[in-house]
Structure 1
Amino acid sequence: MDARIEQVVTSGKVTLDDTEYDVENNTYLIGDDSEVIVIDPGFDAEAVLDKVGDREVMAVILTDGNDHHLGSALEVSAAGEEDEEYWAPIALHRADRLLWRDYFGRLARDEDDEEQAKALRSLEPDIWLEDGGVFEVAGAQLEVQHTPGHTPGSVSVLSDQLGVLFSGDTLHRGRPGSIGGVFEDLRKQLNSIGALITPLPRDMRVLPGQGEETTAGDENARWESWGALASENDES
């Protein structure tokens, strides 16, 4: 197996409920010298494609449907190809379809060309992610785990061969993942985190959607303490 993991960090702004947050996004490339899968392309397609180089993008996996994951998805999928037939498939969980449609609907409203606006409104992901679904690249398998809570369709991606969990914004180092400390459904998110990390080897690397990497063991040790955070969130 020749698969390796590369990281690109980009930054930008995300608006949730009319509040704007500064967000740093981790993009991960998994592959070898000829092909890669891109997880969460982030704010800067050019930076991601510079890292891709002349390799083929096999798929773009979105761990949730928030703006900072969707913003560069089409450009990274295209990877310089004008013919859409050769674009890499974009994958998202169906439970985040509303977030997808809202994002591209907003782009369509700002588009002067009616044909282009119509195309944006009709866009759909190429692949609907499902729990247990598997992608393969450079000899490594990437298994999709549905981990709702941060968004209804949040997923994490597990690779036993690489010894890595890509946790998206479900789990960050030392805390449940969020944007600006805002949680959509923290109790559901905590349940997802517990079910996700409890069976994993303690030394498995966890590569989150934001911030520094951690391990399954470190986060499992912290998990029960986050119940108090859920109670505070219920009261707010």
Structure 2
Amino acid sequence: MDARIEQVTTSGKCTLDDTEYDVESNTYIVGDDEEVIVIDPAHDAEAILKAVGDREVMAVICTDGHDAHLNVAIEVAEAETGDADDDEGDDDDEDGFAAPIALHRADRLLWREYFGRLARDEEDEEDAKALRSLEPDIYLEDGGVFEIADVQLEVHHTPGHTPGSVSLYCEQLDVLFTGDTLHRGRPGSIGGVFNDLRRQLNSIGSLITPLPKDTRVLPGQGDETTVADEDARWESWGALARESDED
């Protein structure tokens, strides 16, 4: 098995309920010397594509629909990397990307809000219309599987951080990509703000309980951790949920 994981950490902004936060985001590149899948490209397409090199990007997976995970997704998906075979594509489909962009359907509203904001700032009406018409190429579903370099990335719908948040589990690499559902030592958030913390905690518990305890957890922000460490902390986060209810 030649599959490996590379990490690119970038800094930028994320807007949540009209408030802008500074965030440091992890992008993960999974694949081999020929092909890769890019998980959560954020902020700096140039840095991400430098890490990709001349390999072909087979898919871009967004684990949620916040703008930090969308702001360079198209640029990474459309980059001319590798020797992509266009025979299966439709050259007349101007809305398609060189590599498909995947997002859970429950975050479609966040997608539309983000590209709607870009459209409002666009002076050219045709470009604005194109931005408003953009849609993900693939809608992620719980239990769906992506294959790359002889390994599988299994999709787990983990709502709470956003309605369409997902995590990706790779048994062959003993790794769990949790996006902003789960960070090291705490449930994931943007600027300490939780959307639906009780639902998020239920998602985390259902996700990590059946997994091997030595599974690496690679989050959307911060350092990596393990299933064992986060499983041991999970029940203590109930206090956070109660505080969130009071707010």
Q: Answer whether TM exceeds 0.5 for this pair.
A: yes
* Matched-pair contact (CA < 8 Å) for 2:119–2:129: yes
Q: What is the Cα deviation at residue 173 of structure 1?
A: 0.2
Structure 1 counterpart of 2:112: 101
Aligned residue runs from structure 1 range 71-82, under 5 A: 71-80=71-80
- The one-letter code of the counterpart of 1:63 is T
Paired residue type of 1:67: D
**Match 1:171 to one of 182, 188, 192:** 182
**1:57 aligned to 2:57?**
yes
Please report the RMSD computed on the Cα atoms of aligned residues, expressed in angstroms. 1.1
Give runs of aligned pairs for residues 103-182 of structure 1, distance below 5 A. Answer: 103-182=114-193
Partner-residue secondary structure (3-state), 2:156:
strand
The residue type equivalent to 2:231 in the other structure is N
1:20: how far off?
1.6
Shift of 1:19: 1.8
Is 1:227 the counterpart of 2:238? The answer is yes
CA distance in 1, matches of 2:242, 2:182: 18
Task: Give aligned pairs, total.
Answer: 235
Q: Tell me the distance in 1 between the aligned counterparts of 2:129 and 2:17.
A: 26
**Equivalent-residue separation in structure 2 for 1:199 and 1:113 (angstroms):** 51
Residue aligning to 1:20: 20
SS of the residue aligned with 1:95? helix
Partner Cα distance (2:97, 2:115) in 1: 21
CA distance in 2, matches of 1:176, 1:49: 29
Unaligned runs of 5+ in 1: none
User: For the residues of structure 1 that align with 2:231 and 2:215, how far apart are their CA atoms?
Assistant: 11
Report deviation, 1:86: 6.4
The 1-side partners of 2:97 and 2:121 are apart by 27
Give per-residue Cα distances to partners, 1:62-96, cap 9 Å, x unaligned.
00000000000000001137x76660000000000
Which residue in 1 is equivalent to 2:85?
none
The more displaced of 14-23 and 108-117 is 14-23
Q: Determine the structure 1 residue equivalent to 2:98.
A: 87
TM-score (norm 1): 0.98
Structure 1 position 229, deviation (Å): 0.6
Where does structure 1 differ by over 3 angstroms across 4 or more consecutive aligned residues?
Answer: 83-86
Instruction: Give the Cα separation in 1 of the matches to 2:57 and 2:204.
Output: 29
1:188 aligns with 2:203: no
Correspondence for 1:197 among 197, 200, 208:
208
